[in-house]
A and B are shown apart, each in its own frame.
Chain A
Amino acid sequence: MAVNWAERVSAFSCRPSHFLSGTNAEAFLAELLRELRDDRASDSVKVLMLFPLCEHPSLLCPSDSIGEETALELMSVFLQCPSKSLQLRCHLLLAITSVIVCTSCVSSHTPVSVDFIDLLLQLSQNNSDVFCESSPQSIRSIACDSLRELEACCPGLLFQHIELLGGLRQQETTLLHQAYAGLYVLVLRNAVYQLTQETEAGAEHLKALLGANASITWEADRFSCLANKRDLSVLSCLIRGPMGFVPTLKTGPDCKELRSVLSSLLEESYLLTPLCQAAMLHRLTEVVAMVPGVHPAIFRAQILRLLGTSQVCLLHTTLLMKYVFTDSLFSAEDEAFMLKRLVVLAQHPLLSTSEKLFYMDCMLHFPENRPISCNDGDEALPVLLTPQLASVLLPTVLNESFTMLARFNMMSLVYLDEVEGGEEGDGKGLAYLNEHLNSLLSIVRSCASRDVVVAFFRAAFLYLMYFCHIRGYSCSLIEKLCELYLHHTKLAPHLITLINHIQNMFPESDWAEDLLKALQRAITQSLLDKLTLQDLHFHLKMLARIAQEAKIPQGSTLKFLADIITSTFSTLCTSDWCLGNSILEVCHRLLLHPSLETMLVPLADVLQHLACCYGDTDIQDHACLYYALLTTLSREKLGGVFTRGKTEEGQQVKTRTLSTLVAESEGLTKMLTVQQSHEAVFSLNKVRTEIQETKADAESHVHSTLGEANATLEVYRAQFKDPDFASEIILNYQMDHINGHNPYFEQLFSIHLHCSLTDDNFEKIDDIIIPYLFRDRPSPVVKLRMKPRRPCPTTLQVTALFTTQDGLSWHTVLPDIHVDFQYIFIPLPSPQGWGRDSKCHLFEQLWNEFCLESGDSASSLFCCQVKVSLVNIVNKHLSSYLISDMSQEEEYKVLFFFPPQFHVLLRIRSDEENRVHFKIATDNWQLLHNISSFLQSITSAKEDTTE
């Protein structure tokens, strides 16, 4: 059982949605709760089962009421839990907390949440828990943490208990004082925040809050829960920098009580773990920021200790304190010291990479006492960070890529100031960065491994982003990049993205264009016989990008294309579709180039050559089309045709007609893929129509065939010499949209239905094509022609392929079609012109033959009591198959014909007591079972009784 639960819980945690699709949330929750109550299950298994409730309470308790019930259940489990099951009890508290917070039980003050808070308060004060008094995992500390989390999620919740919590914090000497302090400070912070929101609140209120001679009585529900008022700002951190707005409480200088509380908290802060200490200092920073009556100097005694710390969280708190209090707490010397500290820490050998990188981020957002700009989000260097001070952070090739790039970015900012400030400096900084980039480049040249390449291109992008305008360096970079590309053509996609980004960022700069020109020169001058197929592929990719540039002449590109398709090299691979496609891609771009006029002839030559000589038919066809377009359309129309092909998806352009022109575009692949619809879009429903043959038809021939009585059986049998005679049953189905479905499928075209058989009783069914199906037009009728091999009911599986309005192809599965017994027989297929007499005669002859019971023939009897008259039944269900006259009420003769060549004959009589006798004769005894069920169904059908 335990293994089972471990697996189930881990399956749930791993993919909750997948897990719940197999069962449902309600069932799983019920199972969990049942197992938790089971005494036989071990504690460790129960703890395991609480994880889903802790991690995904809102999935398991989709509504507040379920949450409430669950919380109640868990609380009763908790109360019955023996006190030695410490881990289980702790986890139960966490689970209940999670459930009541996430299902809004707390914010709506449901009784269960009130009870739970009382329970937690009791637990947190319960000194009798001696068993694990000193253990940090004692139930008391978990109770405190749960209370703190409740207060954090629903600020103001514990306001009424602030005095109690303050007292507990002061008296506690065991490890628990940390948990109390954390809880108390949070409740205090939220309460002070609430006071700042009340216009009349002042020093007296603050005093009352802290429990000293309360002269103001609080209304009980005043602070009920701040989050109720939809004022979510109380949840947010108040530390938003010198420009951020902090709500304040007007108290005047007299805040003795608050000051003494703060001092005592600060004094003991040393006793907390660094993480809790930092959190407490952070909360207290918020409190002091809200109460201007308390001077920030109250933190002074702690500052030195905090500045020397090796703990990232403590130093960070100090930085945030500086962010809020600026020069009211930190002098200019402090500021300089802190910045130097950050520089030291950002490259300290004892710190981890992530800490060092975090400190670098802190430098880029350094809280200066007198910031020049107040751009909150942007990276800006503090004024005090001189190039000389920052020089220890210069990137080196030995740095791993994340550090190298962070340093490169920072030093670029440092030297950008130098370059832009016109100080000129000695230009060494920029030269260093350039040299560093070159070193990276030569590393890439010698070893183009994936990570090295990516790091280099990111550094190159940063460099260009800052220094694109410094011509000397950026020009030399162009040369080097060209050379690098020729060495490693697989860098083409990296280069193209770099070029695209630089062009987007600096539309006015021509660096990207220069690089493309240089690349074009380098590619078109390369020796063809030294190229590999892979090189060629990347060259063509690059040339296609170059052809997008209106300002770059494309003559050399065309010459290069002409060379490759005519050279001996190309004979080796002229049937390569990919290569052909890449060439066409370049041609496609050239067709759109503004200088098309000047290259009309060479481009036409290239296309013609491709159309005639290329080894792949698809490429030939495309080239042919391009050639035709080039030679017949004017430039404007050409542009129109091609650019329309590129328009965004969603704009209902007739992509179908253009798709073949858009080589290698994503749209094309989408067009060519058949989409799968996950739900049925439409269904086939049986049309309840009467069999075509009418009595009138039959009777019109009554007299014409008398006299040939003896020959009737032979004539009838002779018809079957033609194997196709009466071998089919035709079923009519109406095609309807399934209700409430996607409007996307309102209009469907070219529906191709395919029916698959589930047994071998029928011949294969031909596919059916329906031209369209519109929701707002009458449904089309589908004629399903089925050729039975044996007369048996069957089920058909139906699938459909169709096209939607936007030209996409879809595949869908329809609901199965059940071909019941009553659909597989038809009226007697008598020869043209037979009258009733002939048919009666045939009936008698067949009857006599079948009653001999030779071979598969058989006769049988079916009797039943009917509530309605026999006439009604015959009229309703059997009239089409009636051989005798309707008026001959003493005995009805009925014949069912089952393609390919079976019969069931019925003689039906009724007596005075409404008992009906069906005498049955057939040439296939296997039909007897089905015919009995059929007769039963028609004689007992409800509608007969109502009629």
Chain B
Amino acid sequence: MSLRALWVISHQSGENATVRFSRRFSTVEYRAKCLAGSTYVEVPEEGTVLQLLLTELGLSDPDKFYVPLRDDCLHRPRLPALELHVDGPGKGILWPVLTISHGPLILACLCLVDCPLEPRPPLANLFSVSQGLTLLRGLQTFLLGSGSKADTEGLSCRLAMLPSIMLQVCPLGTPLDVPTVATAATPSVPIPAGNQKQPAWKTGFHKGRAVVNVAVKETVRSMQYGQRSRQDLWDVYGTVTCKCEVEGVLPNVTVTLTLPPNGSPLQDILVHPCVTSLDSSILTASSVDNCDGSAFSGPYKFPFSPPLEPFMLCSYTSQVPVPPILGSYQLKEEENHLRVSATLKLHESVKNSFEFCEAHVPFFNRDQMGAVEMKVSSGQLDVSKEKNLLVWSLGPKFPKSLEVTMEGRITFSGPTPGPTDPLCTELTAYIKLHFKVPDITLSGCCVDQHSVQVYSSAKPRISTSGTVVQ
């Protein structure tokens, strides 16, 4: 359940890759040596590991079209656990090297295999794998934040903090916790006296008025083909995030989610580890099951003891009968221009009040746009600076008819070719819609302010909210 080594690598789409941070755990290496005996393969030096990792990820030698070691079809690199083929005197295969590649970073660690290496045990039987994955994921969130925006300055600043972070979360190769920004700055409110043990995931205590914030956010993803042969797809998933400021070492809070009378049950519920107990009926509904009409449909009670920082209490998926906005999009090649027409229709059950609603119409494998003669029935149309994307801002509301259209023609006579895409060739294209509707959920799931129970001496202030985004 330990790690032999850890690497943080930064790169720019495969180029200029450098090891930004690395750590070897010599005592775990000692165990690895004892356990593996004659099959032991030493961890090579940084430069070698970097090269081997890039080869496995298909990022090495970007200017060569075929490199046997990298591109052989027999060898299928299996994320999350890669094997590194070490050449030279310490020849052998290093496995499992867990790898997470995200944005400009590649995070990798080599797990200790605490059972015979021959025959190779299944990844699923190695406990250290999930430990490693959890640590890497935690490091990724710490270094890059939850968004994928590249922030080079912040990144180097956080990389510089890694040595002291590692002392706390993984001093000797056995991960103890994931790094959070909170671990970096420890609050120092003195511990209340008593026999209750302090949770290890709660590094300080709140003093003052109790405040509980619960927010439900639902995300809808939909692919609409507008073809009989191809079914349209859509799904909805929701997350419930909380920020609780409640006094006490281990205060009890209960949040209850409720559904409208004939709402479809919440499925695939995943809960935060601070949830103390669960009713088995809450977990039964699953999106991969045949939907059972008699299934449990709430109320969903989540008793928990909150950590200090904001956290995601639970997540769920839900089946809604129709997508909130239906769209159709047509392209027609005419002489030297492209005829474009699109229609978007808001479903009447959805509240017509958007925080924003934007349709992106990208064009690939063509030159830049020249003349754009387009009309929209509502909102405003902009051509992006790069001249390969139309942005249609629909504003806060759909018109009364709940339908908006865009029509016109575009010539692609720009001086330079636009971006390429392997899928969007010829007349294959798409419109992407982003929107946010406050104070509503598609599944109807909500948290009643009065249903939040806090067992605490002071009277809490409770606020709840719901949002839909796409």
Contacts and interface: CB of A to CB of B under 8 A. Distances in A.
Interface string A483-509: 000000010011001100100000000
A352 interface: yes
A263 interface: no
B134 A308 contact: no
Contact of B172 (A145, A178, A352, A494): A145
Given A57-B26, A275-B177, A344 B273 contact: no
A355 B269 CA distance: 17
B53 to A, nearest CB: 14
B26 A58 contact: yes
B179 to A, nearest CB: 11
Interface stretch (A29-37, A456-464, A931-939): A456-464
Given A102-B26, A149-B174, A349 B219 contact: yes
A420 B93 CA distance: 34
A136 B268 contact: no
B167 A443 contact: no
B457 interface: no
A361 B288 contact: no
Given A134-B191, A313-B131, A241 B125 contact: yes
Contact of B76 (A149, A344, A353, A462): A462
Interface in A158-198: 172-175, 177-178, 182
Interface in A404-452: 405-406, 409, 443, 446-447, 449-452
A349 B314 CA distance: 14
B211 to A, nearest CB: 23
Contacts of B65: 450, 490
Contacts of B190: 134
Contacts of A77: none
A271 B134 contact: no
Contact of A102 (B30, B140, B173): B30
A322 B218 CA distance: 34
Contacts of A564: none
A365 B122 contact: yes
Contact of B73 (A272, A365, A501): A501
A87 B161 CA distance: 13
B60 to A, nearest CB: 11
B133 A446 contact: no
B130 to A, nearest CB: 4
Contacts of B71: 450, 453-454, 457, 494
B1 A279 contact: yes
Interface residues of B, number: 117
Contact of A305 (B66, B178, B276): B276
Given A273-B177, A343-B288, A354-B99, A304 B130 contact: no
A462 B46 CA distance: 33
Interface stretch (A14-22, A545-553, A798-806, A891-899): A14-22
Contact of B131 (A14, A275, A402, A457): A275
A32 to B, nearest CB: 15
B12 interface: no
A134 B197 CA distance: 12
B121 A173 contact: no
A13 B46 contact: yes
Nearest to B32: A235
Interface in A34-59: 47, 51, 54-58
Given A313-B134, A497-B68, A304 B197 contact: no
A828 B388 CA distance: 95
Contacts of A446: 422, 425
Counting chain B CB atoms within 10 Å of each CB, the highest count among A91, A178, A313, A365 belongs to: A313
Contacts of A498: 73
Contact of B66 (A343, A365, A494): A494
B122 A376 contact: yes
Contacts of A178: 176, 200
A153 B31 contact: yes
B80 A358 contact: yes
A101 interface: yes
Contact of A377 (B122, B168, B421): B122
Contact of A316 (B72, B129, B186, B275): B129
Contacts of B119: 376-377
Contact of A137 (B167, B276, B287): B167
A153 B34 CA distance: 9
Which of B121, B125, B195 has the most CB atoms of chain A within a 10 A radius of its CB?
B125
A173 B194 contact: yes
A174 B68 CA distance: 56
A679 interface: no
Interface string B178-201: 100001001010110011111111
A309 interface: yes
A270 interface: yes
A304 B74 contact: no
Contacts of A16: 45
B49 to A, nearest CB: 11
B400 interface: no
Contacts of B171: 90, 94, 142, 145
A308 B131 contact: no
B272 interface: yes
Contact of A443 (B102, B177, B282, B423): B423
B137 A352 contact: yes
B115 A148 contact: no
Contact of A278 (B62, B78, B130): B130
A341 B200 CA distance: 28
Interface in B242-258: 250
A686 B301 CA distance: 96
A236 interface: yes
A312 interface: yes
A256 interface: no
Contact of A308 (B100, B135, B271): B271
Nearest to A227: B34
Nearest to B71: A454
Interface of A: 13-17, 47, 51, 54-58, 87, 90-91, 94, 97-98, 101-102, 133-137, 142, 145-146, 148-149, 152-153, 172-175, 177-178, 182, 227, 232, 235-237, 239-241, 268, 270-279, 282, 304-305, 307-317, 319-320, 323, 337, 340-341, 343-344, 348-350, 352-355, 357-358, 361-362, 364-366, 376-377, 379, 389, 392, 397-398, 401-402, 405-406, 409, 443, 446-447, 449-454, 457-458, 460-462, 490, 493-494, 497-498, 501
Interface of B: 1-2, 19, 22-27, 29-31, 34-35, 37, 45-47, 58, 62, 65-66, 68, 70-74, 76-81, 98-100, 102, 114-116, 119-125, 127, 129-131, 133-137, 140, 163-164, 167-168, 171-178, 183, 186, 188, 190-191, 194-201, 203-204, 219, 221, 235, 237, 239, 250, 268-273, 275-278, 280, 282-284, 286-289, 312, 314-315, 420-423, 425
20 contacts: A16-B45, A94-B171, A152-B2, A173-B194, A174-B198, A178-B200, A232-B34, A232-B35, A271-B200, A273-B201, A309-B270, A320-B125, A354-B80, A358-B129, A361-B81, A364-B124, A406-B78, A461-B73, A494-B71, A494-B73
Instruction: Give the 10 A-B residue pairs with the shortest CB-CB distance, closest first.
Output: A316-B130, A354-B80, A310-B270, A365-B122, A178-B200, A447-B422, A457-B73, A365-B124, A237-B114, A313-B130
